[in-house]
């Protein structure tokens, strides 16, 4: 670890209510933007269709999901493809058709399956309300709500941000092959495809001859399904290329806020730990130290600082600034620091952990409303607060910000009612992990 001294930093406003005004395009014209179309492309014949598996489950100490087990037995195939196969009635367990992907297998079960045909996804325009902070002829800045998937994927072909954009811009139905695409905070511009999508589905390997722009209608970067906040969407190829280059050069200003289970120590620092696929859990990434058992690692660096210590130290309001944009980067780094995000069941921020830490710090003085709010959380408390970049046509710096949604704000408000302490950063020790 390296230690250094840093000067005082201004604190984030406690009320989370003071922001510079955002320009809004209140009278948006639904002009056509042909570049937003997802071009239909032919697929490769080598797509695992017809691959058969017939095998018995070996002795295991715990029951395992059917989709997970099949994915582990056929190398190179996605879980989304396996799930589609199961739902199509092409899997039997002990001679009985099972169409439930979460069916639990036990030792000795005999599984037979035949992988289904790979079908192209169709993105249809849908009249889904969009919270547009800014729009002109070249781009949109959207405040994505939690639980909305950015891009269509197997299991989430509708209700996505792309479906909403196609309708907003009056574009027709678009077809495209199933592809591997980046997710969460991953930048589409980085040229390296991730096997993780924001909604716990997996996308098939890319096909030759396809450009990234052909499968991502204006999407320059992504947020996880559960993450709320700001996204920029390009309307033309020039804007997409220019914005992508800014993400690649890391000149885009991105600030996230989160609620964490516990308080990081020290209160300000930089996590410089590579991220890799967690081989024990395909839907999770892991911060990897050294050369342990892991998949391909990617450089990842995050800066964090504590804004407020909440409920006597049971939780904290933490700001994150990304130096890189990796899949699940904040969530994996928060887990590495021992302060998983509140509500992040995948990375350890379980409701039981949150309640345990809150009760340890506050005895039995927790309001019933707080316990109820935490119990009802269905996503990590992570919000993309601010976004700044150079406009691809005017070449002027633009900056946008938006308040967190109701679920995040309510939990924060009740935590503050228990106890809150602003963090003074006049002079603080900073560790480079």
pLDDT tens, residue by residue, 274-302:
999 888 877 789 998 875 555 578 899 99
| Domain locations along the chain | 2-14+252-432, 52-114, 121-247
* pLDDT at site 59: 65
In the numeric block, the tokens 């964090």 are attached to 304
Query: Hey, what are 338's tokens?
Result: 């021992």
Asked whether residue 394 carries a pLDDT value surpassing 80, the answer given is yes
Separation of CA 239 from chain center: 23
**306 or 245, which is more confident?**
306
**Which of 297, 264, 151 is CA-nearest to residue 212?**
151
Concerning whether 224 is annotated as a catalytic residue, the answer is: yes
At 430, is the pLDDT very low, low, confident or very high (cuts 50, 70, 90)? very low
Which range among 146-150, 210-214, 295-299 has the greatest average pLDDT? 146-150
Q: Are 310 and 415 in contact (CB under 8 A)?
A: yes
Question: pLDDT-derived band of residue 32, with 50, 70 and 90 as boundaries?
Answer: very low
Is the fold of 2-14+252-432 the same as that of 52-114?
Answer: no
- Residue 110 CA to residue 182 CA, distance in Å, equals 35
What confidence score (pLDDT) does residue 236 get?
82
- Asked whether the beta carbons of 298 and 192 are under 8 A apart, the reply is yes
Sign of CA dihedral 314, 255, 219, 324: negative
Report which listed range, 154-168, 205-219, 344-358, is most confident. Answer: 344-358
Taking alpha carbons only, the member of 231, 235, 244 closest to residue 34 is: 235
pLDDT tens track for 400-422: 999 999 999 999 999 999 999 99
Position with higher pLDDT, 210 vs 336: 336
CA distance 85 to 80: 9
The pTM score is: 0.69
- Neighbour-count burial for 279-313, b at 16+ CB within 10 Å, e otherwise: eeebbbbbbbeeeeebeebbebbbbbbbbbbbbbb
Q: Comparing C-alpha atoms, which of 120, 116, 114 is closest to residue 44?
A: 120
- CATH fold of 2-14+252-432, please? Pseudouridine synthase (3.30.2350)
d(CA 53, CA 241): 43
Q: Which two tokens stand for residue 403?
A: 């308040």
pLDDT of the residue at 117: 74
- The residue annotated as part of the active site, out of 186, 187, 199, 224, is 224
What CATH topology corresponds to 52-114? Answer: 3.10.290
Looking at residue 370, its pLDDT comes to: 93
| Residue 170: band (very low, low, confident or very high) from pLDDT cuts 50, 70, 90 | confident
Q: Which two tokens stand for residue 393?
A: 């046509």
First to last CA, the chain: 5
pLDDT of residue 373: 95
Burial 334-371 (b: 16+ CB within 10 A, else e): bbbbebbbbbbbbbbbbbebbbebbeebbeeebeeebb
- What is the model's pLDDT at position 335? 96
């Amino acid at each position: 670890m390296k230690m250094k001294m840093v000067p005082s930093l201004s604190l984030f406003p406690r009320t989370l209510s003071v922001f510079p005004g955002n320009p809004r395009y209140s009278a948006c014209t639904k002009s056509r933007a042909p570049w937003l179309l997802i071009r239909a492309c032919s697929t490769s014949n080598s797509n695992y269709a017809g691959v058969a598996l017939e095998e018995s489950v070996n002795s295991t100490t715990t029951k395992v999901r059917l989709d997970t087990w099949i994915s582990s037995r056929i190398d190179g195939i996605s879980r989304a493809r396996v799930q589609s196969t199961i739902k199509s009635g092409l899997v039997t367990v002990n001679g009985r058709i099972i169409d439930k992907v979460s069916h639990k297998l036990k030792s000795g079960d005999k599984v037979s399956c035949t992988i289904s045909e790979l079908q192209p996804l169709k993105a249809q325009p849908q009249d889904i309300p969009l919270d547009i902070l800014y729009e002109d002829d070249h781009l949109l800045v959207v405040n994505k709500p939690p639980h909305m998937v950015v891009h269509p994927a197997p299991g989430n072909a509708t209700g996505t941000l792309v479906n909403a954009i196609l309708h907003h811009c009056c574009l027709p139905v678009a077809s495209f092959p199933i592809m591997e695409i980046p997710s969460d905070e991953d930048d589409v511009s980085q040229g390296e495809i991730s096997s993780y999508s924001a909604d716990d589905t997996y996308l098939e390997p890319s096909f030759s001859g396809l450009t990234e722009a052909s499968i991502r209608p204006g999407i320059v970067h992504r947020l996880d399904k559960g993450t709320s906040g700001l996204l920029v969407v390009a309307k033309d190829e020039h804007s997409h290329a220019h914005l992508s280059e800014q993400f690649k050069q890391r000149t885009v200003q991105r600030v996230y806020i989160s609620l964490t289970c516990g308080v990081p120590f020290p209160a300000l620092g930089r996590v410089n730990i590579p991220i890799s696929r967690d081989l024990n859990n395909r839907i999770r990434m892991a911060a990897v130290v050294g050369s342990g058992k892991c998949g391909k690692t990617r450089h990842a660096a995050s800066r964090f600082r504590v804004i407020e210590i909440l409920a006597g130290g049971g939780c904290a309001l933490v700001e994150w600034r990304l130096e890189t944009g990796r899949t699940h980067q904040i969530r994996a780094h928060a887990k590495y620091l021992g302060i998983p995000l509140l509500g992040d069941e995948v990375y350890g921020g379980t409701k039981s952990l949150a309640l345990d830490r809150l009760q340890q710090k506050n005895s039995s003085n927790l309001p019933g409303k707080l316990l109820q709010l935490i119990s009802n959380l269905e996503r990590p408390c992570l919000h993309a607060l601010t976004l700044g970049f150079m406009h691809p046509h005017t070449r002027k710096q633009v900056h946008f910000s938006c308040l967190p949604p109701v679920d995040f704000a309510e939990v924060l408000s009740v935590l503050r009612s228990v106890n809150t302490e602003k963090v003074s950063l006049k002079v603080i020790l900073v560790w480079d992990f």
